[in-house]
Structure 1
Amino acid sequence: MIELAGVGYRYPGAEQPALHDVSLTLRAGECLGLLGANGAGKTTLLSLISGLRQPGAGQLRVTDGQRPGMVPQQLAFYPELKVRENLELFADLHRLRGQTRRQRMDWVIARTALAERLPRQAGSLSGGEQRRLNFAIGLLQPTALYLFDEATVGVDAHSRQLLLATVEELTSEGHAVIYTSHYLDEVERVANRILLLERGQVKLDLDTRALLGEQHGLLLKWPGALPEALERELLAMQLPFKRLADGWHIEALQGADLARLCTLIAELPQLPSLLRFGRPSLEQLYLHLSGGAL
């Protein structure tokens, strides 16, 4: 689907490359959650994959030869045109005809809840409605790969759920997706693989389950270090535990072990500020991996 080998890119006049030695392969049916702080190279990488820029180094290949569909961070439609006119215009640009055109138009309108907004001038829509139109235009092109760059910024909670369900539908139908967002709960929901960029380089590329784990456990927050008595007990019980950005995660707890630890914690002189049963969120692990940088 997509293959990148040693890809690099430097903006004219920049001292450091925006991307350096990036390699990845994305296959049909995969959704890659692209993470990184502002300036990490996420948008640059998407612009290279979409064909808006050409790599300065390495090789980039889209194996089926199709141009990706893209929902960009910036609004990309004509505000003076009506919603339907914008959709018709971009359908023309994608050379959609006949039944394929009608089906695609109906599909994107339904997936973005724009049916009642079709006669409205695009510039008169609310910010969230404009985002939905941007989303619809990006989905108009039938293709094997879709790119989403902060696609739900400013969208209300109900519309966000609708749009995320559409992303899940794309991957379930065998499309490849690259999804980047500062809403890490969105990425955790839709992505089955996480790639973390740091200063233009790949710091981590892992299956989401491998990263978050499938075992539930105790999530604890302490004002200071993990109490020595608890640490000794965890080692004696041979329970895995790891430090997160804002606390600790004790893994693979069974019923008796959970009760034993809760009793011990309740008897400690200093109690945790938070105790929750579950697994680490993507946000917690991201903060841990990035050293707390947002």
Structure 2
Amino acid sequence: MLELRNISFRYPGAQSPALQNIGLQLQEGQCLGLLGSNGAGKTTLLALLSETLAMQHGDIRWDGPRSLGLVPQQLAFYAELTVAENLALFADLHRLQGARRRLRLELCIHSTALEDKLTRRAARLSGGEQRRLNFAIGLLQPARLYLFDEATVGVDASSRQLLLDAVERLTGEGHGVIYTSHYLDEIERVASRILLLHEGRVQLDVDKQQLLDAGHSLQLEWPQQVPDGFSELLAQLQLHAEPLPGGVRISDLDATQLQAITQFVCVQAQPPSLLRFGRPSLEQLYLSLNGGRL
């Protein structure tokens, strides 16, 4: 539904470009999880897509009509209006009428749990409630593609689940989604593809399941020190261990190797303080790919 070709952008006076030769394709019903450190270019890319920044170099091509909804990082509503008045105003701006308007408002209010906040002025809402209002306004516009830029910052855990449910419904209905967040568990839940930006360049663009299914690892930590004989066991099993404070992480081990390590652990006088086996989380992969920097 959307293709970006050689997108580059430099802010006035900046020593280096915010984006350099970005290219990607997005299909209908697909959620692209956009990752990167602060300043990596995520918000700049969304601003170019939403045309709140003017294009400098490259092409954005739509297969069919351009149709876009945005939940920005900044709060974007009228503080002196009530929640209901804000929603009605933005419904007017999107030219929603009749039954379609009513159904759209009901959906957005329910998806963000704002039913008991409709008569309150937006300025009087808590920070998390304001985020939910911001989210509801972004969902109001019927669109083919929705952009979410740090949309759940400051939202409590139960409300976050409601908002993530709404994102999953969008992709289930065939809408495209580009979703940025520093909560990597959110990206791991809603995204089907992962794109990592680093200093304005695409460092990784891959199917999420392919990335997470790369292999299983074992993490072990002890209260004091690694037991004697453990290094020799790993050498016998032909395993490489990444040293950690108080322990090790071992990648890509099979069931036989795991059994041998478990038997070694069981006969030690002191049990480990941490034993974790499974595929790496998206957060672990992100830190590894991004040079260990948050």
TM-score under structure 1 length normalisation = 0.90
Report SS of the residue matched to 1:134: helix
Query: Structure 1 pair 242/44, CA: closer, same or farther in 2 (3 Å)?
Result: farther
Match of 2:235 among 232, 235, 244: 232
Q: Which residue of 1 aligns with 2:251?
A: 250
Q: Letter of the aligned partner of 2:101 in structure 1?
A: R
Cα distance between partner residues in 2 of 1:68 and 1:224: 55
Decide whether the 8 Å contact of 1:245 with 1:291 is kept in 2. no
Report SS of the residue matched to 1:196: strand
Q: Which residue of 1 aligns with 2:288?
A: 288
Q: Letter of the aligned partner of 2:251 in structure 1?
A: I
Q: Structure 1: where are the runs of 5+ without partners?
A: none
**1:230: Cα distance to partner?**
4.2
Supply the RMSD in Å over aligned alpha carbons: 2.6
CA shift digits 1:208-237 (9 cap, x unpaired)? 111111754423458999x642442442xx
Cα distance between partner residues in 2 of 1:200 and 1:124: 38
**1:59: Cα distance to partner?**
1.1
Decide whether the 8 Å contact of 1:94 with 1:141 is kept in 2. yes
User: Are positions 1:96 and 2:99 aligned together?
Assistant: no
CA shift digits 1:187-228 (9 cap, x unpaired)? 111111110000000000111111111754423458999x64
**1:259: Cα distance to partner?**
2.2
Decide whether the 8 Å contact of 2:237 with 2:257 is kept in 1. no
Report SS of the residue matched to 1:162: helix
Cα distance between partner residues in 1 of 2:13 and 2:260: 61
Q: Which residue of 2 aligns with 1:16?
A: 16
Decide whether the 8 Å contact of 1:245 with 1:284 is kept in 2. no
Query: Structure 1 pair 80/16, CA: closer, same or farther in 2 (3 Å)?
Result: same
Q: Which residue of 1 aligns with 2:86?
A: 86
Q: Which residue of 2 aligns with 1:41?
A: 41
Decide whether the 8 Å contact of 1:244 with 1:285 is kept in 2. no
Report SS of the residue matched to 1:24: strand
Query: Structure 1 pair 217/53, CA: closer, same or farther in 2 (3 Å)?
Result: same
Q: Letter of the aligned partner of 1:3 in structure 2?
A: E
The correspondence of residues 97-246 of structure 1 with structure 2, limited to 5 A, is 97-213=97-213, 216-220=216-220, 228-235=231-238
Cα distance between partner residues in 1 of 2:38 and 2:6: 22
Report SS of the residue matched to 1:100: helix
Query: Structure 1 pair 268/50, CA: closer, same or farther in 2 (3 Å)?
Result: farther
For these two proteins, the number of residue pairs brought into alignment is 289
Cα distance between partner residues in 2 of 1:23 and 1:274: 42
Decide whether the 8 Å contact of 1:245 with 1:288 is kept in 2. no
**1:35: Cα distance to partner?**
0.5
**1:274: Cα distance to partner?**
3.0
Q: Letter of the aligned partner of 1:43 in structure 2?
A: T
Cα distance between partner residues in 1 of 2:5 and 2:191: 22
Deviating more after overlay: 259-268 vs 13-22: 259-268
Cα distance between partner residues in 2 of 1:115 and 1:6: 44
Query: Structure 1 pair 144/242, CA: closer, same or farther in 2 (3 Å)?
Result: farther
**1:273: Cα distance to partner?**
5.6
Q: Which residue of 1 aligns with 2:71?
A: 71
Q: Identity of aligned pairs, percent?
A: 58
Query: Structure 1 pair 214/18, CA: closer, same or farther in 2 (3 Å)?
Result: closer
Q: Structure 2: where are the runs of 5+ without partners?
A: none
Decide whether the 8 Å contact of 1:219 with 1:279 is kept in 2. no
Decide whether the 8 Å contact of 1:50 with 1:67 is kept in 2. no
**1:67: Cα distance to partner?**
3.2
Cα distance between partner residues in 2 of 1:96 and 1:260: 64
Q: Letter of the aligned partner of 2:187 in structure 1?
A: V
Q: Letter of the aligned partner of 2:169 in structure 1?
A: E
Q: Letter of the aligned partner of 2:122 in structure 1?
A: A
Cα distance between partner residues in 1 of 2:66 and 2:55: 18
TM-score under structure 2 length normalisation = 0.90
**1:271: Cα distance to partner?**
7.9
Decide whether the 8 Å contact of 2:91 with 2:141 is kept in 1. yes
Q: Letter of the aligned partner of 2:180 in structure 1?
A: T
